[in-house]
A = this chain, B = another copy of it.
């Protein structure tokens, strides 16, 4: 397994994501993915050890891509409501712009295969936001709650809503969006 053609790996990633999202994990097969990527199934095995390996690497690939984009345009991490709002909106924007990726990640967070790597991978997943939480708590901006709890109060509702609105075919207006942020913020601010 020697990586020569970096672009081919991406084609495989994209194909896998697409097939899995549309057919579900159990409906996805190496040959479908291969066809979608326009390579032979055997070729995939030049780049990945096996199917699990491919899925895991795809998961990590997408997850880190997602983590990075939260903080695009955001070098100023001074604890403030404005900072959180910016991050929060970036998060929202990322989900909207990368629905495919987001869906894939959501779908697989709960599968046994992924759970293991989630555990290994999570620690260094979002150190930036973790430290922002810590700073904010020590400055009295946020309630003194566990980071996981802060995370869930702040981000889960919007995640859920996006998924909902996607399946309903509706879109969230700007006002509505701000409303959601304000509600979430109220939950965690001091």
A161: Cβ under 8 A from any B Cβ: yes
In the complex, chain A residues 151-190 whose Cβ is within 8 Å of any chain B Cβ: 152-153, 156-157, 160-161, 164, 167, 176, 179-180, 183-184, 186-188
Enumerate A10-49 residues with CB–CB distance to B below 8 Å: 21-27
Whose C-beta in chain B lies nearest to the C-beta of A153? B157
- Say yes or no: A111 contacts B25, CB within 8 Å: yes
The secondary structure that dominates the A interface is helix
| A131 at interface by CB-CB < 8 Å | no
Point out the residue from B113, B143, B161 that lies within 8 Å of A148, measured CB to CB: B161
- Check A184 against B106 for contact (C-beta < 8 Å): no
Q: Which of B22, B110, B143, B161 contacts A152 (CB 8 A)?
A: B161
Q: Which residues of B sit under 8 angstroms from A112, Cβ to Cβ?
A: 21-24, 27
Residue from B23, B111, B143, B149 in contact with A157 in the complex, judged by beta carbons closer than 8 Å? B149
Q: Are A164 and B148 in contact (CB under 8 A)?
A: yes
Closest residue of chain B to A154 (Cβ to Cβ) is B157
Nearest B residue to A28, CB-CB = B26
CB atoms of B149 and A113 under 8 A apart: no
Q: Which of B21, B26, B152 contacts A25 (CB 8 A)?
A: B26
**21 pairs, CB–CB < 8 Å, chain A vs chain B:** A26-B26, A26-B111, A27-B112, A107-B111, A119-B167, A143-B183, A145-B183, A149-B161, A149-B183, A152-B156, A152-B157, A152-B160, A152-B161, A153-B157, A156-B156, A156-B157, A156-B160, A183-B187, A184-B187, A186-B186, A186-B187
Identify the 4 closest CB pairs spanning chains A and B, nearest first. Answer: A187-B187, A152-B157, A152-B160, A156-B156
